[in-house]
Structure 1
Amino acid sequence: MSRTVNLVVIGDIICPWCYIGEKEMENAVEAVRDLPITIKIEHRPYQLQPSLPEDQALVKREWYINRFGKEKFQSIMQMITLRGQQLGLNIKYDGTITQTVRAHRLSLKALKVGGQQMQQTFLQAINKAYFEENRNIGDSDVLSDLAQAAGIMAKDEAVNFLESDDCREEVVNMMSEARKKGVTGVPFTIIDGRWAVIGGQTAEVYIQIFKKLAQTEKVVPICDVQSGPVCSDP
């Protein structure tokens, strides 16, 4: 008999480890398709730059250098670029960095309109736009194009949605709830409300967890808290 495994993935779209973690999770889910489990994934928002005005866009490279210093930034960039390449991701550091409330509102709307599959489609599109195409994901025109491409709504509807406050309160509340639970870095994955997997883990970590869950119907500890590289608060 198949059992359902519920994953809540807390992340921010400007975090490269969230992009890497998303791809690793995707590979893990594909690898365990034959197991007697159904994996349900819900993505919830986090905000790494809460103090950044919603309409402000900063030069990405300058922001990273100001935060980490030139040497440390080079080291981080090399590590993330290599890890991305191993997964077929071409992560770049040009373009701008912005606040992500608008993008998170669309992600939540995608979940409401089309469930897990539509939210996944939207996140794949916006991650590629931000990390590989250097597009400004704080810009309503860019976001409305992505919303239409993902099938959430037509471009003009998306523009109206972004100008409204639809889904804003829910997104802000989810961000606040994550912080109250002690989340200070992302990605942060909660499995069946009981176990935490922190950081951009490899697919193998998730595969082992899924295999263990498939072998038992009882609620038993599957692992200690697993920790990996994260994007953290300033």
Structure 2
Amino acid sequence: MATSDRKQELKIDVTSDNICPWCYVGKRRLEKALSQIDSSRVNVSVSWHAYELDHGLPRDGSLLKMDRYKQKFGEARIKQMLPTMMETGKQEGIQFSFGGKIGSTFDSHRLLYYVKQQENGEQKQNALINVLFRAYFEQEQDLADHQVLIKAAEEIGQDGNQVKQFLQSDQYKKEIQDEINHSQQEGISGVPHFVINDKVELSGAQDPQQFLQAFRKAGITF
């Protein structure tokens, strides 16, 4: 039997929102765990699925991020949360910055779905989500702004004019709404949420060792 025939399959489905700081942290920690797996023995596939963390955000126009945070959490809690988040980010190589604007992430989820339909779609989706996280959390850019999304797509080699036409269309709106509805039906109340090989579930930005334990629980040996 050829070595490739013996490869194990590790499938990871991640439910996430692009304005969720713990999703950014969770992605970094997942990548640390995956770096400890021998790629000659295990095929890894990672797919990202849409979630709306803040259903009250406008689909047209945006709000000041700090104003929205204060509305949702209150000023006292924000003063506690942000320093903790920034320190956690530093440990993962993320420079969190909480200025800028916040709006609906629906179109950014559509864009992630759009690139996934292409050749090598999973790799493109993973590359794009890195760009989106960095744009929002480190560069204070607004993911509801189509110009920001077009620039992000261009960073991973997409044609800006084609992306602009796509964003102006209704393509994949139903698919993204279906994903959001599905996550609610599955009882997912917080993100990031990970499903390993359709068997093992993990919630939150777990440490790399927790991911490795989950992979073993799902039947992966490494």
For residues 111-190 of structure 1, the aligned pairs below 5 Å read 111-113=116-118, 114-151=120-157, 153-190=158-195
**Structure 2 gaps, min length 5:** 1-5
Shift of 1:154: 0.9
Q: Does 1:87 pair with 2:92?
A: yes
Cα distance in 2 for partners of 1:184, 1:20 equals 18
> Cα–Cα, structure 1 residues 37 and 2, in superposed 2: closer, same or farther, change >3 Å?
same
Corresponding residue of 1:17:
22
Residue by residue over 1:130-187, the C-alpha shift from the partner in whole angstroms, topping out at 9 and shown as x without a partner, is 0000011111111111111112x31111111000011111011011011001011100
Q: Does 1:102 pair with 2:107?
A: yes
Cα distance in 1 for partners of 2:205, 2:146 equals 29
How large is the RMSD of aligned CA atoms in angstroms? 1.5
SS in 2 for 1:31: coil
> Cα–Cα, structure 1 residues 35 and 76, in superposed 2: closer, same or farther, change >3 Å?
farther
Cα distance in 2 for partners of 1:199, 1:134 equals 23
Q: Please say which of residues 106-115 and 47-56 is displaced more in the overlay.
A: 47-56
Cα distance in 2 for partners of 1:125, 1:33 equals 26
Shift of 1:108: 0.7
Q: Post-superposition, which runs of at least 4 consecutive aligned residues in structure 1 deviate over 6 A?
A: none
Cα distance in 2 for partners of 1:101, 1:37 equals 33
What TM-score do the two structures reach when normalised by structure 2?
0.92
Corresponding residue of 2:3:
none
Shift of 1:26: 1.1
Q: Does 1:196 pair with 2:201?
A: yes
Cα distance in 1 for partners of 2:19, 2:136 equals 8
Cα distance in 2 for partners of 1:155, 1:104 equals 17
What is the aligned residue count? 215
Cα distance in 2 for partners of 1:57, 1:5 equals 38
Q: Which amino acid aligns with 2:189?
A: T
**Structure 1 gaps, min length 5:** 217-234
Cα distance in 1 for partners of 2:161, 2:65 equals 29
What TM-score do the two structures reach when normalised by structure 1?
0.87
Shift of 1:35: 7.2
